[in-house]
Amino acid sequence: MASLTVRQLDDKLKALLRLRAARHGRSMEDEVRVILKAAAEAAGREVLEKFEPPAMAVRRRAPPVAADARRILLIIGGGIAAYKSLDLIRRLQDSGARVRCILTAAAQHFVTPLAAGALAGERAFTDLFDAQSEFDVGHIRLARDTDLVVVAPATADLLAKMAGGHVDDLAGAVLLATDRPILLAPAMNPRMWAAKATQRNLAQLVADGVRVVGPNSGEMAERGEAGLGRMAEPREIAAAAAAMLRVAGPLSGARVLVTSGPTHEPIDPVRFIANRSSGKQGHAIAAAAAAAGADVVLIAGPADLPEPPGIAVVKVETANEMLAAVERALPADVAVFAAAVADWRVERVSRGKIKKQHGEPRALALVENPDILATVAHLKNHRPRLVIGFAAETDDVVANARAKLAKKGCDWILANDVSPETGIMGGDSNTIHLITATSVESWPRQSKDDVARQLIERVAAALRGEKR
């Protein structure tokens, strides 16, 4: 391992590190190694994969915001999920909003005001009694000069403070002083979430008109702990914020229909034909469209994913149900068919459980399912302006996808290689070739969220072009 140098840390950090190192009888460099190793073990490798250190954050300049941009005040509470709030700043900005941050004292143990301020493009606020910030804006103006307040992560302590109206720091003062809508993204240990006091505080806040997104279920930072308490993903929080603000984004005024997930085709009351689709890509596209201001309807097969907040979700099981739901959801400006629809269904679904028989195994007679994408792409009335399909292939990806574009009559196909070694099916990243009637564009391997954002940017550009 290359040696570490702590010389470049600022004096405050160095002093803290020196104290810790002395307490543990280690050198300062060893202390840094131990902290890094423990943080990665406690929070999972994703901390190191996703966390953007301030130096990188400073390099990415905040995107320009329109003079009439909606304003979001993001209050970052003190929990391990705070690292996700840096990503959240970007997601909120993606919908065209101007973001301003407040960090509680506890939050500053996890992320720095410098990182939050660099991403937001404006200094982050931390102290109620800081003469400079009171001179600059003051807590009352912070509370009023915004269209929405988002608290993420909303810790058990912040919920308790809000429910009781306590004002012992800047976050508490602003939350009490604001008359703007408030969105909470709770994050805490499952036992703390389930605790009667937390649920009592939450019920009070909901009754007061506060909106809540999440928490999700999953592994906790504490080893061996799992359950309800993970903060909602930044894209889910951004979609909920967009829905509350009805953000003016590049897809404002457009209706977008998305299919996602697998379908389940019943064989008998206990068995069905299914596939390995996770629904991650389709759900991410629905969330990205909502964050861009679109009115989104998501028609989802049985996927084990939380519903993206702020989006109308229609849950279906079979291909026939999916087609019926799609037809009911039309007209739409854009339709994205990301669902992995089963090609076949059982001709006669048994009413009773099929019994094991001696001798010959029982044959199942199959009939073809309707092709939802082709049906919509060939509509005479109510054909969306942009019909987009997916082609999951294992060989000759681009050639097969081109043939599919023509056969299905859609405008674009997003082709991807789903050979098992790619890990795309069920995984978090995707490699896409965007195929149109006249071009093939190969995108780099990226997260499914980034694929969704890139696609929505292209959709918005195409709709703008059409209007011109």
Residues annotated as catalytic are 275
Which DSSP helix (H) or strand (E) runs through 59?
Answer: helix 54-59
Contact 314, 298 (CB under 8 A): yes
User: Contact with ligand C5P (CB under 6 A): which of 339, 387, 418, 451?
Assistant: 339
Report yes or no: 371 and 379 within 8 Å, Cβ to Cβ: no
Among 159, 319, 387, 456, binds ligand C5P (CB under 6 A): 319
Contacts of 214 (CB under 8 A, 6+ apart): 185, 186, 187, 230, 231, 232, 236, 237, 306
- 153 lines the binding site for ligand C5P (CB under 6 A): no
**Under the criterion CB under 6 A, does residue 371 sit at the interface with ligand C5P?**
yes
Provide the phi-psi class of 307: left if phi over 0, else alpha when psi is between -120 and 50, else beta: beta
Written as one letter, the residue type at 316 is V
If one asks whether residue 369 binds ligand C5P (CB under 6 A), the answer comes out as yes
CB nearer ligand C5P, residue 51 or residue 390: 390
- For residues 89-105, one letter each, b for 16 or more C-beta atoms within 10 angstroms of the residue's C-beta and e for the rest, the string is bbbbbbbbbbbbbbbbe
- 273 interacts with ligand C5P by CB under 6 A: no
286 contacts 311 by C-beta, under 8 angstroms: yes
> Which CB atom, from 74 or from 391, has the smaller least distance to ligand C5P?
391
Contact between residue 145 and residue 158 where contact means Cβ atoms under 8 Å apart: no
Is residue 143 part of the contact set for ligand C5P (CB under 6 A)? Answer: no
Interaction between residue 250 and ligand C5P (CB under 6 A): no
Q: Which of 389, 432, 451, 452 lies at the binding interface for ligand C5P (CB under 6 A)? A: 389
What is the rounded distance in angstroms from the CA atom of residue 195 to the CA atom of residue 193?
6
Position among 118, 390, 432, 463 found at the interface with ligand C5P (CB under 6 A): 390
Residue among 83, 125, 337, 412 that touches ligand C5P (CB under 6 A): 337
Q: Smallest gap, in angstroms, from Cβ of residue 284 to ligand C5P?
A: 15
DSSP 123-151: PPB--TT-HHHHHHT-HHHHHHS-SEEEE
Indicate whether 372 belongs to the interface with ligand C5P (CB under 6 A): yes
From the CB of 348, what's the least distance to ligand C5P, in Å? 20
Cβ-based nearer residue to ligand C5P, 125 or 390 = 390
Interface segment toward ligand C5P; rule CB under 6 A; list 105-113, 296-304, 335-343, 415-423: 335-343
The residues binding ligand C5P (CB under 6 A) are 259, 319, 337, 339, 341, 343, 369, 371-373, 389-391
